[in-house]
Amino acid sequence: MSDRSQLQEVEAFLKAHPDAATVDMMIVDMNGILRGKQLGRDYVKKLYTEGVRLPGSNYLLDWTGQNVAGYDYGSSDGDPDFFCKAAPGTLTAVPWAPRPAAQVIASMEDADGQPHFADPRHILQKVLARLAEIDLTPVIAIEYEFYLVDQDDAADGKVHPARSPGTGWRSNTTNVYGLDDVYDFADLLGEIHSSCAAQGIPAETIVSEYAAGQFEINLHHSNDALKACDQAIMLEHCIKQVARKHGTIATFMAKPFAHSAGSGLHVHVSLLDKDGNNVMAGEMDDTVGRPISDTLRHAIGGLLAAMPESMAIFAPNANSYRRLQPGAYAPVKGIWGGDNRTLPLRVPGGDEAAVRIEHRVSGADANPYLVVAAILAGMHHGITGKIAPPAPTVGDGYANPDGVELPVRWPVALQALKDGSILPDYLGAEWLECFHIARAFECDNHHFTIHALDYEWYLRTA
């Protein structure tokens, strides 16, 4: 989109929203955390022309927002500014704001006008370009699981599922798909629905998930993968802010409760050829129970090959690995099959046009741009290399002794990322090195922190 057409976009928006006094400029760091600036109404046009300056190190901070020791970004290089420009089509009003306001996603450019190497949106675009070279367009649908948590208890250091605003009742049972749980939070969830509609976020369904206080929202599929991820990050922001307005906390932690289900970020993906045909559909496979093609099989083969080195992206922090347990609808081995939720790679039901892979590996705490980039990189690797997958799994996936061994502990996953040979070609070796250093920095800090369990187990007995 040209600068002039982009300027027309913002001018039309400001004319339609004369009371919007501020605009939140949002960039998405490697952790999926929104950072940026709040811009005055008269200043926002700079985002659509020369750009608004922000330190490039914002993309490379650890989870707590501090600079990372070990690479030359942040304090080591003087922390230089670069220019951020608005992502077309992401400027929208903020329905939940106490005063009229707006928000827009931005991407960063280097001093020479090239995409900044650490911007997750640009990383995804690089992978999409590789698929475009072989005339394939991904169709993406994202599902988010999250918990509603009691805000007052959390302030006192205790974490419990939120109480129903209407009854004061706190559920403690697994009432999966229970409509009563949805009605308990009808005002909050209803405002999420209406806010999504106002912001153009295609939220299709909200369901009560497999634990007290856990919900899932599904987004409609899109043949624009970058837009799908923009909508996913906007959805997460919307859920958090509407929950805050209603006096509760929405958390996308992968495992906020030790004995309850973890929260995942599930990605459904199919591929279209240049004529719009779904290349994942083919002949009926009786074992899988779906009409699948060799292209789908090769995509599965590539996903499994790339999965060990991708785990540090799918599970990006210490808590992420609490979710990876047998029998918990989360992966412990790389296997695949038909309509089976015990598998990390599932081929759901539907007609030929809907044949797709559901990638169930990532936690809800991961960055959606990086998750989708890693998934598509694995698929491209498998398709171009014609990698044959192992036989599909039937029945309980956790009972299958075979499959690709996955690193389900953080230090092991970081080593697999460092030793990986597939992702550097797609995501960029420089960025992967930075991602590894940042995660290792955080892993070390977490390891050397004394946790409550240390005192419970060892204080009197050691």
135-192 pLDDT, tens digit per residue, is 999 999 999 999 999 998 888 888 888 888 877 767 776 666 567 778 788 899 999 9
**Per residue in 402-415, pLDDT tens?**
899 999 999 999 99
Identity of the residue numbered 297: R
Instruction: Assess if residue 233 is contained within a domain.
Output: yes
Average confidence (pLDDT) over 70-94:
86
Which of 90, 117, 144 represents a domain boundary (last residue)?
A: 117
Q: Quick one: 78 and 145 in the same domain? A: no
pLDDT the model gives residue 75: 66
Instruction: Assess if residue 460 is contained within a domain.
Output: no
Answer whether 91's CB lies under 8 Å from 113's CB: no
Query: What is the C-alpha separation between 378 and 305, in angstroms, rounded?
Result: 7
Q: Quick one: 62 and 133 in the same domain? A: no
**Per residue in 178-198, pLDDT tens?**
677 787 888 999 999 999 999
Average confidence (pLDDT) over 348-374:
94
Instruction: Assess if residue 461 is contained within a domain.
Output: no
pLDDT the model gives residue 434: 94
Q: Quick one: 82 and 192 in the same domain? A: no
Average confidence (pLDDT) over 375-400:
94
pLDDT the model gives residue 153: 85
Domain of 77, in residue numbers? 3-117
- Could you tell me how many residues make up the chain? 462
pLDDT the model gives residue 173: 66
What is the average pLDDT value for the chain, to the nearest integer?
Answer: 92
Q: Quick one: 31 and 171 in the same domain? A: no
The token duo for 183 is: 């009605």
Which of 92, 117, 142 represents a domain boundary (last residue)?
A: 117
Of residues 169 and 58, more confidence is placed in 58
Average confidence (pLDDT) over 365-372:
98
Q: Quick one: 157 and 295 in the same domain? A: yes
Instruction: Assess if residue 441 is contained within a domain.
Output: no
The rounded percent of the chain whose pLDDT value lies above 70 is 97
The rounded percent of the chain whose pLDDT value lies above 90 is 75
Instruction: List the CATH number of the domain containing 31.
Output: 3.10.20.70
Residue 90 has pLDDT above 60, yes or no: yes
pLDDT the model gives residue 183: 76
Q: Quick one: 257 and 400 in the same domain? A: yes
Q: Quick one: 152 and 285 in the same domain? A: yes
pLDDT band at 378 (very low <50, low <70, confident <90, very high): very high
Of residues 297 and 163, more confidence is placed in 297
Instruction: Assess if residue 220 is contained within a domain.
Output: yes
Q: Quick one: 104 and 166 in the same domain? A: no
Q: Where do runs of H (alpha helix) occur along 386-451?
A: 410-419, 424-427, 429-447
Which of 96, 117, 138 represents a domain boundary (last residue)?
A: 117
Q: How many domains does the chain have?
A: 2
Query: What is the C-alpha separation between 122 and 75, in angstroms, rounded?
Result: 24
Instruction: Assess if residue 402 is contained within a domain.
Output: yes
Q: Give the angle subtended at the CA of 211 by the CAs of 207 and 214, to the nearest 5°.
A: 50
pLDDT band at 104 (very low <50, low <70, confident <90, very high): very high
**Per residue in 199-217, pLDDT tens?**
999 998 888 777 888 899 9
Average confidence (pLDDT) over 25-35:
97
Average confidence (pLDDT) over 221-227:
97
Instruction: Assess if residue 455 is contained within a domain.
Output: no
Instruction: Assess if residue 437 is contained within a domain.
Output: no
Whose tokens are 């208890």? That residue is 153
Does this model's pTM top 0.85? My answer is: yes
Q: Quick one: 39 and 107 in the same domain? A: yes
**Per residue in 394-450, pLDDT tens?**
988 888 888 999 999 999 999 999 999 999 999 999 999 999 999 999 999 999 999
pLDDT the model gives residue 350: 78
Q: What sign has the CA pseudo-torsion 337, 340, 341, 347?
A: positive
Instruction: List the CATH number of the domain containing 366.
Output: 3.30.590.10
Query: What is the C-alpha separation between 436 and 415, in angstroms, rounded?
Result: 9
pLDDT the model gives residue 371: 98
pLDDT the model gives residue 3: 63
Q: Quick one: 356 and 419 in the same domain? A: yes
Contacts of 167 (CB under 8 A, 6+ apart): 184
Q: Quick one: 220 and 339 in the same domain? A: yes
Of residues 71 and 246, more confidence is placed in 246
Q: Quick one: 285 and 188 in the same domain? A: yes
